[in-house]
């Protein structure tokens, strides 16, 4: 199991605390420092079953500068979204937990983290 975190994020800290309390084995990836490639983002999206706009933090200042909220959300523009997430990792929703069964969840709630734990 791997968890993509921003240490300044309270949701990330909460997810880590729950993983620790449950004795889960996991690897931490500080994705703002160890930035995922476009290929890694594509893989995680596949595991999540989501599109890039589903995990984009459109309220961030960088998103507003890019005009992200106005970008088309369709297959034709998917690569543009993925490129923006790779170039601006702060725009990636967090935490993302990749489960051992090949799936992933956005662990913003206790229920989502427990869902990832159930997939061990």
pLDDT digits (tens, 9 = 90+) for 64-111: 999 999 999 999 999 999 999 999 999 999 999 998 899 999 999 999
> Catalytic site residue 9?
yes
**What pLDDT, on the 0 to 100 scale, is given for residue 119?**
85
Token pair belonging to 87: 């170039």
Query: So what's the pLDDT on residue 114?
Result: 94
- Selected catalytic residue, list 1, 2, 9, 108: 9
Cβ-proximal residues to 85 (8 Å cutoff; 6+ apart), any chain: 36, 38, 41, 52, 55, 56, 91, 92
Give the global pTM. 0.93
């Amino acid at each position: 199991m791997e968890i993509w975190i921003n240490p300044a994020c309270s949701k990330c800290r909460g997810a880590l605390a729950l993983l620790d309390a449950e004795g889960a084995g996991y690897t931490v990836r500080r994705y703002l420092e160890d930035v995922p490639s476009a290929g890694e983002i594509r893989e995680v999206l596949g595991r999540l079953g989501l599109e890039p706009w589903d995990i984009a933090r459109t309220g961030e200042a960088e998103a507003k500068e890019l005009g992200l909220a106005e970008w088309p959300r369709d297959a034709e523009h998917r690569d543009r979204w993925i490129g923006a997430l790779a170039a601006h990792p702060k725009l990636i929703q967090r935490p993302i937990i990749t489960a051992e069964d090949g799936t992933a969840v956005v662990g913003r709630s206790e229920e989502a983290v427990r869902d990832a734990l159930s997939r061990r």
